[in-house]
Structure 1
Amino acid sequence: MRDSVFAVVDLETTGTNLMNDKIIQFACILVEKGKIVHELTVDINPNKSIPKPIQALTGITNEQVACAPYFEEVAPTIKNMLEDCVFVAHNAYFDFSFLNSELERSGFSPLTVSVLDTVELAQVFFPISPGYRVKDLANYLAIEHLNPHEALSDAIATSHIFLKIIERIQQVPLITLKKIVELSTQLGVENSSFLNKMYQQRKEQRLTKLTYPFPIEIIGEMALRKKDFHFLEHYSTLSSRFPETDEAKEELFKTKKLQVRKPQLEMMDHINRFLIEKSNKNLLVEVPTGVGKSLGYLLPLLMNKTVAEPVVVSTSTLVLQKQFLSETLPMAEKILNQSLYGVILKSHHHYIDLEKFVLTLEQPVLQKQYAIYQIACLVWLLETTTGDLDELTINKNHLFYTHVSHEGERQKVRKGTYLEHDFWRYLMKKKEVADVLIVNHAFLCEEDFRQKPQFITMDYLVIDEAHKLRDTIEKTATQRIRLSQANYLIKTIRDLAETLTETLEHSWWTEQMRYQTIFLSEFKELIEEIEGFVKTVYFSKRATSEYLLSIDDFSEGWPIEFKKILNKFKINLLEYEQWFKTFQRQLPNYHLSDWLKTSVHGMEFELDNERLLMELTNLRHYFMDYSRDAVKWLTLTSRGLVLASFNFREFSLEKMRWYQSFQQILYTGGTLQLDSDSNYFEKQLGLTKLEKYQTQDYFDYGKQAELIVLDEKIDFGNEKEFVTQITKTVEAAYTALDDSILVLFTSHDILKKVYYRLSSLLDFSDIEVLAQGMTGTNEKIVKKATQNDRCIILGAASFWDGIELPNKHLKLLIVTKLPFDPPQRPLVKARYDYLESLNKNPFYEEALPQAGMRLRQGLGRLLRKDTDRGLMILMDRRIIDAKYGQALQNYLPKEIPMKVLKPDNIATEIKDFYKNE
């Protein structure tokens, strides 16, 4: 294949059905010796009408192909052109199959040439690309791609992508390429053969000099990007004194050509006094968007911190962590004229464990997706400086992720070859010299469950986006038992035991595995009986998929049949625990401990047994132990039954380990309380003493914003009607506005349905639909939105307040429904019941403040700077009609104009609002 001519092909068709659809455009780029040598494109008459969506997608009309040749007429030319070439396409499975189908239909024999798929090759050689469509890769690789979905443009872009893949293969160290070839046997078409021939070519050339873009070192049998340890030389020398006057602060900002705002200066003064006086541990600072909040709290904290202790900043999302490190910290460096070292700290499971990864290479799982992940990791390890698996697109539920993710301090050292190159240990070294540690709320809340605390007697903590803290605490502290997980572990352990028994052929081991199999079979039957009982009693006559257990469910006692099941389960568990302890104690006697630790299957066997014991113990406690303070609920999912519990009455921030580790804590956000007299925030978190400060808003809402309330009553219970109305509203908005639109939902299910509806309408135009949970991670959606001048972003949950979208193009926000928590959700219902037990009204104490703050946070997605303008469309008339409507309106700036408009008038109003821009 070394001297082959590669034919890079792209087809445009009337659809994807090989039996009924036809080719309407064919393009081919011939690549030889690393250069494009020829190109061909031809329109083809399909002898049928081109569907309108396809016309919109490709730009190819019925008129355009009316006088074009039929496929039968161009088939000889196409076949002759491709016969002696290697066929290359982006998703070659489709293009090659479709072309051969048309050739056979026209009376020609199918092509029998070698086939390469650039999708698979790009996935493994460009592992951190935000996407793998031609358009995504062209953006990532800086390849010009003028007309996506036009055959010639797609073929040219694909040919350049293919050349970039070849270039990367030629750069990869031979030791890595050799391993890639070994793993590539699981790849599709002739990708493996191609990689093997490239490897043989490299060997024959005997090129030993590395040409990879980053410095590489060979460790054991793997190549890694060389780690930079210069950070160890960093020593915090912060010596800046806090500027006392506004003039001094303004001068500090202006000399660095940074914008300064009056509310920002006032905020800095208040925080500085709080840090100096130390009269209170907690300070709540409410700061509207656009004030420069992050810099406003970071500067006084840095100027007051001790040299030894870092400032810890907790954000609500991983995306905001990166934004703080890449944007806020460099500005602080500029102002203070001092070097600052910031480190993003995540939980250990986000990072790859090199020893575990090497074990997967030695004992690979023979499965295509597993192999793609392995090869992608090999290439990624030549690039990554962090070892953070979030940089890759990996399904965290996939077996590969379990096999390679780090276990932190619990990690058992096996070979030691990669110990000094371990990414988690590398991160811990960075942590020791950091001026600022950047975590997220989930990491912070997990501190109470860690064997080794990350924070011990530290000075300052900032909880940014503090309104998200309670939800994170509840999510982290909620114990969930998935019966499907227990069954999965049982199956996995049995399979691993069988594999290890065949490998070892040891009589004692075989006997122990026979005992274990008996235990596991009994557990599987008992779990099935428990699940069957719960489904019959709580879900057989109810339409709901969630059920909140009450004290009556426990106090009245379970039926005698169920008690027998639980008792048998308890006895079996005690016997299994005893067997496993004896088994582990006897392992060294038979010289099997080291063997287990150096086998990927043995390692998983031990770990999965520990996990199973924990799952089974939790299951026993769930049904057999009951406390009046614990809220328990059942959820029936497509993957089985989930048992959840949360201790409401004991909930208090002040009892948490991380809270007690810090001397002073600053809570900040844009909408933490309605006014300075409100005590909603501290009641939420169980804080007994809290100092508060609220900065002034500096937006001119009368000129910069407008609220449109849709003058149409919508039956939110009629899902089909609701989805249709949302789609129409979005259509009206995007036809009137040449900028990006954010659509906020309260239901992921409705979001998905709107996405599918919009995709069928808009996927064939120049506007891209990005949907949370559908088109990539939140971070990837933000990246794509940043790269696109025009897109429609569909989001729920964190998109209300925790995502920093590119405000440059975001001009319109559509709120589909007032953001009340679903009252039927068990944890919400339990919280409401708890408030009622305290003689409080849950709607006014909890539901209304939550909805009002989310509404205000939604508006904050639009206005970030004093030059921004934005429209907010609310599709829910309850803000006007309901008796609580005025209370909700009070959460919005009183100066913002509000108009009530019929759906037909929305497009005109949007155009009028922006006509003077």
Structure 2
Amino acid sequence: MTEKETRRYAVVDLEATSASPAASIIQVGIVIIENDQIVDTYQTDVNPHKKLSKSIINLTGITDSQLQKAPDFSQVAAEIYHLISNCIFVAHNVKFDANLLAEHLFLEGFELLTPRVDTVELAQIFYPTFDKYSLENLTELLAIKLLDAHTAIADAKATAELFLKLKKKMASLPRLTLERILEFSDSLLYESYLPIKEALTRASAQLPSDYQEVAGIVLKKEEPLLQERRLSQDFATNLALLNLEDRPLQLKFAHLIDKHFQEKTATFIEAQSGIGKTYGYLLPLLGQVPKEQIIISVPTKILQDQIMANEAQALKNIFYINAHSLKSPQNYLKLDAFYESLMRNDTNRLLNRYKMQLLVWLLETKTGDLDEIRQKQRYAAYFDEVRHDGSLSKQSLFYDCDFWQQSYRRAKSSRLLITNHAYLLTRMEDDQDFVKNHILVIDEAQRLFLALEQFSQCQVNMTKMLQQLHQLLENSQDILEQRLLENLQFELNHLLQLFYRQKKKQIKQEDAERLRQHLAEISLPELAELQNVFAASFSDFWFEESFSSDHRTVLLKSARVDFTDFTQSFPAAKKTYLISATLQIGPKINLANLLGFQEYTFDKMVGKQTNQQAIWIDQTMPSVDELSNQDYERLLADRLSQIAQLDKPTLALFNSKKTMLAVSELLDSSQLSHLTQEKNGTAFNIKRRFDRGESLLLLGTGSFWEGVDFVKQDQLIEVITRLPFDHPEDIFIKKLNRKLRQEGKNPFYDYALPAAILRLKQAIGRTKRKDKQLSSIVILDGRVLTKRYGKIILQSLTENFPVRIQNFSELLAEMKNFLYNKK
């Protein structure tokens, strides 16, 4: 094939009777590209001489009557072959299209031997930060028109536009990067390296000014700091400059931030969700003179990324505010480790594709934060290998451009620093000056108490640890060491058997002391994690299960007997604000008490009832303690299926990951499209996909209760599958209950019930994030109506929301009317 001919591509898409290799072709779409221009198109229906399934008709819009008028494949085979036989065959998932077409042509006497290029794999390499590579997703992200999706010519035209964008991006990359990528091109499907090789012939050897080359790797240069503009002293003016409308409650909140700024004591402000708290504290604090560094801590990395992408970016664009997102070292790529992996000859195709992907990503990333790579879970072991460990030799080739070092420097010089509660505690413990003379804002402060407890815990993965012990035993040459390892292995296996068979989570003190003694006599670095778990400072030990869609993990955890006092354990900032919609947990308990604050100011902004949100309680839902797990899961799946018929974005919140995954399986069997946390991706990924409208139903737990905002949806249904009580057997809850009893308080009525109500209100608050947003909340837990404490929950909810108690069929009808006819 000549050089000129290699520039002729046939982009092909087929529609078929199924996704099986034995399927019949029902439609062919072809787009011919030459010299980066579309020069020809071809389309035809094909009569398969069999009826189509309903799923194919629904997917493609093609009908049996339409195909009855179409030619047989034998009538169009020669025309198709002569059009594409001298081209490189390009398709989105080329294996299916090329194999199916080649087989059909072969049966007609034509042998198709063209090279093949796959746009799925090329997109994965050259658009490394996307979380999904379906044609629909790529066309949306890259602003490619895709009309009549799942018709062959429409998909072929969209794939052709995608391929041209890929070629254009390849050609724009530095020559050195393309050369490094081609070193791993043997791992690409078929001949997908050909357009990369073609791009190399056009690439410039000279690096653009915003890149640097270090040890053969091309990196984006660090951005210089901006010269900050001065903010107005008028809050409304700053909002107007940001093109935002002022809101009365947000203005009142901002005044409270200003009012308490000069006070040395901590300031607690309780304010309802949806008033714009983030700008409410950022703008007044950024306007203060002198210009102090402001450290914002939020509960999750999802919210951290959310603020950086939204508020921090807007402040950078308008006021040139230097903002930086600070995470633990493990979030960043360690260039030394990545360089070593490039030097290594790996045969794993997926691993080598990730190397290529990271080479492209290094031209784009400003931070080196591996959270930007959305599909790294497919080969987690490789990313564990190249993660930063927080150490860096001064002899490192990458010392001056190391991402963790850059992050550390940037953190000191940025005006606005965004972090998360877990890393805030770690950093404050390691660096006594981290918050000194700075302003600290702890947002969603109610989550800090739990983060503080998790910070004082330690854990080890039992599966990995037992594998490690087995390996150590096999390799040990010392008889005494072997005996100690055998004793340790026996004790751990015995405790695990008790956990599996008798559900004994808690480890007795005498068993813990015996394990401590064994570990004290063994000096092996491989057991450091286990030794940390049994350190002298820990007194409570237990097993805990973590479920995902395909496996179960058992963790051995330990904790201190006493709660950590936040005010005594960590250095104080110049000024501290603790902000949340839920600070007053109950009449006798508030967050300030739990954190150890003796002196503080407390302001509560009273929220108003809104007619944009309404709550329905299903009075026909049986109490959870009346049903088996299987019956409960089936009932939830049935309720969600009926709610899905309202055709509105729906968030279903679960307390149990196990229940959530079981319900998801039932929904799969009924072919109801949905997204499930962990099963279909991380919370961050599935939230993005839900916002894009990939599915109207999202099943979530954990951070979805109180850490994720739903702003994109004008209308939203939220389903509370179960009241969010803490599990009474949870070690943390047992520890808290012990503390409350010592203080003469009732653990259930003074903490557990108020905390559940607050968590419920937090979840409801996630659905009202803008003025005209409509949301309907369904509670599928009969305990609200049958238990004595249910009256307290109802009374609390009716203070803020209209509440209706109905049977499920009436509830559905009213919700439909509310969402479709509300003015």
**TM-score (ref. length: structure 2):** 0.89
Higher mean displacement: 455-464 or 886-895: 886-895
Work out which of the residue numbers 533, 536, 543 in structure 1 matches 2:494: 533
Q: Is 2:15–2:25's contact at 8 Å kept on the other side of the alignment?
A: yes
Work out which of the residue numbers 650, 658, 666 in structure 2 matches 1:749: 658
1:915 matched to which residue of 2? 821
Q: Is 1:835–1:842's contact at 8 Å kept on the other side of the alignment?
A: yes
User: Take 1:49 and 1:466, find their aligned partners in 2: how far apart are those partners?
Assistant: 60
Higher mean displacement: 475-484 or 366-375: 475-484
SS at match of 1:264: helix
User: Take 1:77 and 1:648, find their aligned partners in 2: how far apart are those partners?
Assistant: 79
1:221 matched to which residue of 2? 216
1:284 aligned onto 2:268: yes
Deviation (angstroms), 1:310:
0.5
Partner letter of residue 16 of structure 1? A
Q: Is 2:225–2:322's contact at 8 Å kept on the other side of the alignment?
A: no
1:15 aligned onto 2:1: no
Q: CA 1:538–1:422 in structure 2 vs 1: closer, same or farther (change >3 Å)?
A: closer
User: Take 2:237 and 2:173, find their aligned partners in 1: how far apart are those partners?
Assistant: 50
User: Take 2:115 and 2:139, find their aligned partners in 1: how far apart are those partners?
Assistant: 25
1:687 aligned onto 2:648: no
2:177 matched to which residue of 1? 176
Share of identical aligned residues, percent?
27
Q: CA 1:477–1:102 in structure 2 vs 1: closer, same or farther (change >3 Å)?
A: farther
1:801 aligned onto 2:706: yes
User: Take 1:266 and 1:311, find their aligned partners in 2: how far apart are those partners?
Assistant: 21
Work out which of the residue numbers 439, 453, 458 in structure 2 matches 1:479: 458
User: Take 1:911 and 1:185, find their aligned partners in 2: how far apart are those partners?
Assistant: 55
SS at match of 2:405: helix
Q: CA 1:905–1:747 in structure 2 vs 1: closer, same or farther (change >3 Å)?
A: same
Deviation (angstroms), 1:96:
3.1
User: Take 1:734 and 1:900, find their aligned partners in 2: how far apart are those partners?
Assistant: 20
1:547 aligned onto 2:452: no
Deviation (angstroms), 1:715:
6.0
Partner letter of residue 176 of structure 1? T
SS at match of 2:796: coil
SS at match of 1:475: helix
Q: Is 1:715–1:722's contact at 8 Å kept on the other side of the alignment?
A: no
Partner letter of residue 427 of structure 2? E
Deviation (angstroms), 1:912:
1.7
1:93 matched to which residue of 2? 95
Q: Is 1:494–1:517's contact at 8 Å kept on the other side of the alignment?
A: no
Higher mean displacement: 381-390 or 783-792: 783-792
Deviation (angstroms), 1:138:
0.9
**TM-score (ref. length: structure 1):** 0.80
SS at match of 1:402: helix
Work out which of the residue numbers 26, 29, 37 in structure 1 matches 2:28: 26
User: Take 1:368 and 1:530, find their aligned partners in 2: how far apart are those partners?
Assistant: 41
2:376 matched to which residue of 1? 395
Work out which of the residue numbers 652, 669, 674 in structure 2 matches 1:769: 674
Q: CA 1:67–1:548 in structure 2 vs 1: closer, same or farther (change >3 Å)?
A: farther
Q: Is 1:632–1:646's contact at 8 Å kept on the other side of the alignment?
A: no
User: Take 1:665 and 1:385, find their aligned partners in 2: how far apart are those partners?
Assistant: 30
Deviation (angstroms), 1:145:
1.1
1:275 matched to which residue of 2? 261
SS at match of 1:892: helix
User: Take 1:724 and 1:290, find their aligned partners in 2: how far apart are those partners?
Assistant: 34
1:318 aligned onto 2:231: no
SS at match of 2:686: helix
Partner letter of residue 776 of structure 1? G
User: Take 1:523 and 1:898, find their aligned partners in 2: how far apart are those partners?
Assistant: 62
Q: Give structure 2 stretches of 5+ with no counterpart.
A: none
Q: Is 2:17–2:52's contact at 8 Å kept on the other side of the alignment?
A: yes
Q: CA 1:249–1:833 in structure 2 vs 1: closer, same or farther (change >3 Å)?
A: closer
User: Take 1:194 and 1:439, find their aligned partners in 2: how far apart are those partners?
Assistant: 41
Work out which of the residue numbers 410, 422, 446 in structure 2 matches 1:467: 446
Deviations 1:341-389 (A, max 9, x none): 2221111221222232222212243322211111111111111121111
User: Take 2:26 and 2:810, find their aligned partners in 1: how far apart are those partners?
Assistant: 40
Deviations 1:833-873 (A, max 9, x none): 55456664332233212221121112112222333332111
User: Take 2:174 and 2:316, find their aligned partners in 1: how far apart are those partners?
Assistant: 38
1:343 matched to which residue of 2? 324
Partner letter of residue 529 of structure 2? E
Q: CA 1:116–1:615 in structure 2 vs 1: closer, same or farther (change >3 Å)?
A: same
Work out which of the residue numbers 738, 746, 749 in structure 2 matches 1:844: 749
Q: CA 1:77–1:288 in structure 2 vs 1: closer, same or farther (change >3 Å)?
A: same
1:656 aligned onto 2:569: yes
Q: Is 2:235–2:283's contact at 8 Å kept on the other side of the alignment?
A: no
User: Take 2:99 and 2:473, find their aligned partners in 1: how far apart are those partners?
Assistant: 41
Deviations 1:821-842 (A, max 9, x none): 2334444445445545666433
User: Take 2:594 and 2:74, find their aligned partners in 1: how far apart are those partners?
Assistant: 72
2:389 matched to which residue of 1? 407
Higher mean displacement: 862-871 or 116-125: 862-871
Partner letter of residue 91 of structure 1? N
1:445 matched to which residue of 2? 425
1:152 matched to which residue of 2? 153
User: Take 1:293 and 1:793, find their aligned partners in 2: how far apart are those partners?
Assistant: 26
User: Take 1:80 and 1:182, find their aligned partners in 2: how far apart are those partners?
Assistant: 34
Deviation (angstroms), 1:695:
0.8
Deviation (angstroms), 1:796:
1.4
Partner letter of residue 404 of structure 2? W
Q: Is 1:283–1:692's contact at 8 Å kept on the other side of the alignment?
A: yes
SS at match of 2:183: helix
Partner letter of residue 668 of structure 1? I
SS at match of 2:583: coil
Deviation (angstroms), 1:487:
5.6
Partner letter of residue 736 of structure 1? L
Q: CA 1:733–1:87 in structure 2 vs 1: closer, same or farther (change >3 Å)?
A: same
2:759 matched to which residue of 1? 854
User: Take 1:394 and 1:641, find their aligned partners in 2: how far apart are those partners?
Assistant: 24
1:371 matched to which residue of 2? 352
Q: CA 1:524–1:568 in structure 2 vs 1: closer, same or farther (change >3 Å)?
A: closer
2:583 matched to which residue of 1? 672
Partner letter of residue 254 of structure 2? M
Partner letter of residue 94 of structure 2? A
SS at match of 1:84: coil
1:597 matched to which residue of 2? none
Q: CA 1:782–1:639 in structure 2 vs 1: closer, same or farther (change >3 Å)?
A: closer
Structure 2 counterparts to residues 54-73 of structure 1, below 5 A:
54-71=56-73
Q: Is 2:428–2:435's contact at 8 Å kept on the other side of the alignment?
A: no
Structure 2 counterparts to residues 497-646 of structure 1, below 5 A:
528-539=489-500, 541-542=501-502, 544=503, 547-551=505-509, 570-571=520-521, 573-574=522-523, 576=524, 612-618=526-532, 621=534, 629-633=539-543, 635=545, 638=551, 641-646=554-559
User: Take 1:902 and 1:662, find their aligned partners in 2: how far apart are those partners?
Assistant: 53
1:811 matched to which residue of 2? 716
User: Take 1:636 and 1:174, find their aligned partners in 2: how far apart are those partners?
Assistant: 46
Q: Is 1:467–1:671's contact at 8 Å kept on the other side of the alignment?
A: yes
Q: Give structure 1 stretches of 5+ with no counterpart.
A: 242-247, 496-513, 577-609
Deviation (angstroms), 1:437:
1.1
Work out which of the residue numbers 618, 627, 636 in structure 2 matches 1:726: 636
Deviation (angstroms), 1:446:
2.0
User: Take 1:803 and 1:551, find their aligned partners in 2: how far apart are those partners?
Assistant: 39
Deviation (angstroms), 1:806:
2.3
Deviation (angstroms), 1:438:
1.0
1:511 matched to which residue of 2? none
1:426 aligned onto 2:412: no
SS at match of 2:346: coil
Deviation (angstroms), 1:419:
2.0
User: Take 1:221 and 1:684, find their aligned partners in 2: how far apart are those partners?
Assistant: 53
Q: CA 1:430–1:217 in structure 2 vs 1: closer, same or farther (change >3 Å)?
A: same
User: Take 1:837 and 1:531, find their aligned partners in 2: how far apart are those partners?
Assistant: 33
SS at match of 2:797: coil
Q: Is 1:290–1:865's contact at 8 Å kept on the other side of the alignment?
A: yes
Q: Is 2:660–2:699's contact at 8 Å kept on the other side of the alignment?
A: yes
